[in-house]
Structure 1
Amino acid sequence: MSTATKSPEEHARLLELHNSFKPVWLTETIQLGPWLSSDRDVVAKYMNDPRVYESLFGPPIPYTLKDADDWLALRVDRMTKEGTPLDFAFRDMTRGGRAFGCVGASDHSDENLGEDDTGYWLAPEYHGQGLMAKALKMMLYRVSVVECGKRKFNSFVFEGNWASRRTLEKVGFVVQKDMTRSIVKYGKTIPQWVLRLYLTEEDVERWGRETLEATPLPSFSPVRPLCVE
Structure 2
Amino acid sequence: MSTATTRSPEEHARLLCLHNSFKPIWLTETIQLGPWLPSDRDVIAEYMNDPRVYEYLFGPPIPYTLKDADDWLAMRVDRITEKGTPLDFAFRDMARGGRAFGCVGASDHSDENLAEDDTGYWLAPEYHGQGLMAKALKMMLYRVSVTECGKRKFNSFAFEGNWASRRTLEKVGFVVQEDMTRSIVKYGKTIPQWVLRLYLTEEDVKRWEKETLEATPLPSLVQ
TM-score normalised according to structure 1 size: 0.94
Go from structure 1 to structure 2 and tell me whether the alpha carbon gap of 1:3 and 1:190 turns closer, same or farther (over 3 Å shift).
closer
**Secondary structure, aligned partner of 2:220:** coil
Give the Å deviation of 1:2: 10
Give the Å deviation of 1:186: 0.5
The Cα offsets for residues 62-98 of structure 1, whole Å up to 9 and x where unpaired, read as: 0000000000000010011111100000000001100
Q: Report percent identity of matched pairs.
A: 91
Contact 1:3 1:73 in 2 (8 A): no
Give the Å deviation of 1:3: 10
**Secondary structure, aligned partner of 1:169:** helix
Contact 2:117 2:155 in 1 (8 A): yes
Distance 1:130 1:158 in 2: 19
**Secondary structure, aligned partner of 2:156:** strand
**Secondary structure, aligned partner of 1:40:** helix
Structure 2 partner of 1:225: none
The Cα offsets for residues 6-42 of structure 1, whole Å up to 9 and x where unpaired, read as: 3322211110010111000000000000000000000
Distance 2:99 2:82 in 1: 28
The Cα offsets for residues 169-193 of structure 1, whole Å up to 9 and x where unpaired, read as: 0000000000000000001100000
Q: Do structure 1's residue 22 and structure 2's residue 23 form an aligned pair?
A: yes
Gaps of 5+ in 1: 221-227
**Secondary structure, aligned partner of 2:60:** coil
Worse overlay, 4-13 or 79-88: 4-13
Contact 1:34 1:87 in 2 (8 A): yes
Structure 1 partner of 2:61: 60
Contact 1:2 1:74 in 2 (8 A): no
Go from structure 1 to structure 2 and tell me whether the alpha carbon gap of 1:34 and 1:57 turns closer, same or farther (over 3 Å shift).
same
Structure 2 partner of 1:2: 2
The Cα offsets for residues 195-229 of structure 1, whole Å up to 9 and x where unpaired, read as: 00000000000000000000000101xxxxxxx99
**Secondary structure, aligned partner of 2:164:** helix
Count of aligned pairs between the two proteins: 222
Gaps of 5+ in 2: none
Distance 2:164 2:101 in 1: 18
**Secondary structure, aligned partner of 2:219:** coil
Contact 2:2 2:79 in 1 (8 A): no
Contact 2:2 2:109 in 1 (8 A): no
Contact 1:90 1:101 in 2 (8 A): yes
Give the Å deviation of 1:102: 0.1
Distance 1:105 1:3 in 2: 13
Distance 1:197 1:6 in 2: 33
Q: What RMSD, in angstroms, separates the aligned Cα atoms of the two structures?
A: 2.4
Go from structure 1 to structure 2 and tell me whether the alpha carbon gap of 1:3 and 1:86 turns closer, same or farther (over 3 Å shift).
closer
Distance 1:75 1:137 in 2: 20
TM-score normalised according to structure 2 size: 0.96
